[in-house]
Every structure is written in C-alpha cells, then in structure tokens.
Chains A and B, each alone.
Chain A
Amino acid sequence: MEDLYRLLRTGHVQAQGIVDTISDPLLVLDASLVVQSASRSFFETFNVDRYETIGQPIYELGNGQWDIPDLRRLLEEVIPKAAAIINYEVEHDFPGIGRRTMLVTARTLYHPDKGSHTMLLAFVDATDRRRRDVAKDMLFGELRHRMRNLLSVAQSMARQTTTEGRSAEEYRDDFLGRFAALVEAEDLAFTEQGEIGVQELFDRIFAPFAAGPEAIVIEPGPPVELSPRTIMSLSLVLHELATNAAKHGALSVPGGRIRVSWQVEDANRKLRLNWAEIDGPPVTAPLTAGYGTKLIQSAIAYTLQGRVEHEYAPGGFQAEIVIPLGTASALS
C-alpha cells in the first residue's frame, strides 16, 4: 500500500513535470471538465494563478472567461466524437490579455482500469502569427500591384513608341531607351527613401547621354525626397528631354552642353527644374510634336499635376518644369 502510494505520487509528480515542460499552455481536465492540472505556461499566458485554477470547472475559471461558445462546442460536441482535435480555432476577448486567436489541440485519454477519461487541452496563441500573416498578405498584395503597374507602363510604352517610318532597329532602340529609364526609376523609387534625391535621379538618367563630364552640368540644389510615382514620371520625362537633345539639340554636336538645376519653392511644396541647352545647333520648333514631347507634357501635367514650359530659344532649347511635391516632402 505504502509502495503503491509512493508510486502514484511519483507518477503524479512526473506527470506534472511533463505538463510543465510543455512550452504551450496545457490543461488537464477530468470527465466533468474540472481542471486537474495546468502547465506553468498556462498560468503565465493567461495571467492566472494556480490556486484559482486547479480544481475549478473550466467554464468557471477567471470569472467565466473560459465560458466561450466555440470552446463549449469543442468540448461537448466535437471531442466526444473524435479521439483527437488539432488546431481548433477559438477567438476570444480574454479580460486579462485582450483579444486573442487560440488554436486548441485536444486529446482524450481513457483510463482502462477506472473507465473514466481525462482530456488534454493544449493552446497555441496564434494571434501574432495571424497578424503577421495578414501583414505579409498585404505586402505581397502591394508587391504584385507594383509589378503589374510596372508591366502596364512598359506595355503602354511598347505600344505607343512610334513605329511609323521607323526601322525595327530604330523602334527597338527608342523603346529600350525608355525601358532603361523605367528600370532606373523603379530601382531608385524603392531604395531607402531619404537617401536618394534629385541629384541621383539626374545622374542615373543622364548617364547614357553624357559623352564627357562637361556635357551635362548639374548644378547642386537642395535635397528633396520624391515619391515613387514622381520618380517614375520624372525619370521618363528627363529621358525624353535628353533623347531630344541627343537627336536635335545641344548633345547632337561636339561641345554642346546642358545645364540642369532645381529649387524647392512654396515652403517645400513645389519642385522647379530648369533645363537649358547651350552651344548647340540653332533650333527651331518642330511642326508637330513627337511622341516624346507629348510624353513630357502629359507626364508632368496629367500624372504629376504640374506644368511644363518650353522655348526653342535662339541659343538652345529651354524648359522649365514645376511639379507639386504632394506627399513627398523636401528634407529639412
């Protein structure tokens, strides 16, 4: 008798030891749903104390905070029909810890000698995981959105780049030039914001055009943070300006130069860009605006809600672009 008692005691201590090693909250219930044992992490997770838990019917724990319809359904309807339940989701507002999503795994243990049973209930707090899943879904959604938009713009450029009177090579080069500007814009738009600015945008977009270091002179200006959509439209516009200069303007002759500068105005709400070609061939306004010129006009006026003024001055083509900075702001 003495020995048997010792054995049972040891067994109980061992069982409690096992219960405590489980890192997730665990409850052991008897057949009438009274708590026989609980793991340490149960007390920690639900911020409850051992004495108010052990020996209590589960529905009465913590002023009835476990009297949850979903849990009742699980304990009274689902478990009796199944040997084990895995990750049954219960969402509930727990007074001590707030709204939580719990995954409940349950198993019934039958005692062959006594004909009774014990129920093991393990809880996994999936609240944070769920939140992360939602955040991840949003992020993937945004990424897909960005990718499709980018493909849309590339598709539109391919369709609208002039084919009339062009050889396939000319068409391809025109398209690829625009495409390269788009690639640069995409790259710039999503690098760490605050680090990039107008200067870097200019450097990248003009890199294919500047034959020598003097060809395109960029005057230093104030740092400005540009939104991704501003970067994209502005990149395409600057590419068209440079293309036109290379074909018909200052960059079409040796010694021709372009001077580019920018300022922020109206308490950082506007960005003004100045483009001046010098020492180029004499220029005259073309009879009809090409696609590139239309693109410049529309990307600024339509997409960025700004304005462009250009002039075929005797000394060289000049343009002034003013765009609202909107959500993107100048760095103070």
Chain B
Amino acid sequence: MQKTVLVVEDEYLIAMDLQLLLEARGWRVIGPVGTVQEALQLLEGELPTVALLDVNLGTELVTPVAEALKASGVPFAVASAYDQPERYGGDVLAGAPNAGKPTNERRVLATLEQLTSFR
C-alpha cells in the first residue's frame, strides 16, 4: 500500500516544496494544509502513515494536531526552524525528530522512513 504523509505547513511556498519532493519519492501527500483546523478535519477523514509538521503556523501553534496524532498512534516528525521545537510547541513535540528548515531533501526522506520503520 502507498505510504501517506500529512503535511502541515503554513507557508505556501515551503508547503509546495515539501509536497513535490515527497510525491517525487512515492509518498502520497495528504494536504498540505496551513491551519490546525484544516489538519484536524483531514485526520477525521483519513489517518496517514506518518505526519510532517511545521511548529509555528504563523498565528497558531501546531500542538493540537500533534496531540491528535499521538492519540491516534500516528508517528510524526517536525520540520521546524527552531532548535528545540518543544520549547515553543509543548511537551508533545519532545522526542519527535526534526527534519529541519530549510528543507534538506535527504534528511526529510530519511526522517520519514525512520518513522515508518518504527511501526
């Protein structure tokens, strides 16, 4: 079955970048979306294999999405420009691998692969 990844990123240019990069490597992208509300709606419809989250969504934090993923047992990584995303987004992000920003293609793919292999 095709692996799916939920992408939450509020900056359109970066979201597009992630989408194109992941689709080129065989992932099916759910989203991308830039708000907590849209992300939670998508999760109601379909649970992805993994998720890739920006931490600071401009006017809100991604924290409720991370909590919903955790409750559903979906592993997630962050793609954040913060060194310690949990200092901003709360404890639910502690321990989540950070694929970093700006996007390094190899690092993003390796991070997501690592998440799927833990399942």
Q: Give residues in A with beta carbon < 8 Å to B.
A: 141, 144-149, 151-157, 159-160, 229, 233, 236, 295, 298-299, 302-303, 305, 326-327
The reply to whether A155 and B102 contact each other, CB–CB distance below 8 Å, is yes
- Given A153-B11, A302-B34, A303-B34, the answer on whether A160 and B17 have CB atoms closer than 8 Å is yes
The answer for the CA separation of A153 and B58 in the assembled complex, in Å, is 14
Question: What are 19 A-B contacts defined by CB distance under 8 Å?
Answer: A144-B81, A144-B82, A145-B56, A146-B81, A149-B11, A152-B17, A153-B11, A153-B14, A156-B14, A156-B16, A156-B17, A159-B17, A160-B16, A233-B12, A295-B13, A302-B15, A303-B11, A303-B34, A326-B59
Q: Interface residue tally of chain B, by bracket?
A: 20 to 34
Tell me the dominant secondary structure on chain A's binding face: helix
The reply to whether A160 and B59 contact each other, CB–CB distance below 8 Å, is no
Chain A residues in 8 Å Cβ range of B10: 229, 303
- Given A149-B81, A160-B17, A302-B34, the answer on whether A327 and B59 have CB atoms closer than 8 Å is yes
The reply to whether B81 and A298 contact each other, CB–CB distance below 8 Å, is no
Q: Is B35 an interface residue (CB 8 A)?
A: yes
Chain A residues in 8 Å Cβ range of B15: 302
Q: Is B83 an interface residue (CB 8 A)?
A: yes
Q: Give residues in B with beta carbon < 8 Å to A.
A: 10-17, 20, 34-35, 56, 58-59, 81-84, 87, 101-103
Tell me the dominant secondary structure on chain B's binding face: loop
The answer for the CA separation of A145 and B100 in the assembled complex, in Å, is 11
The answer for the CA separation of A78 and B32 in the assembled complex, in Å, is 58
From A152, A229, A298, A327, contact of B103 by CB (8 A): A152
From A148, A157, A299, A302, contact of B81 by CB (8 A): A148
- Pairs of residues from A and B, 4 with the lowest C-beta to C-beta distance, nearest first: A148-B81, A156-B13, A152-B102, A156-B17
Output the residue of B15, B58, B82 with the most chain A CB within 10 A: B58
Chain A residues in 8 Å Cβ range of B14: 152-153, 156
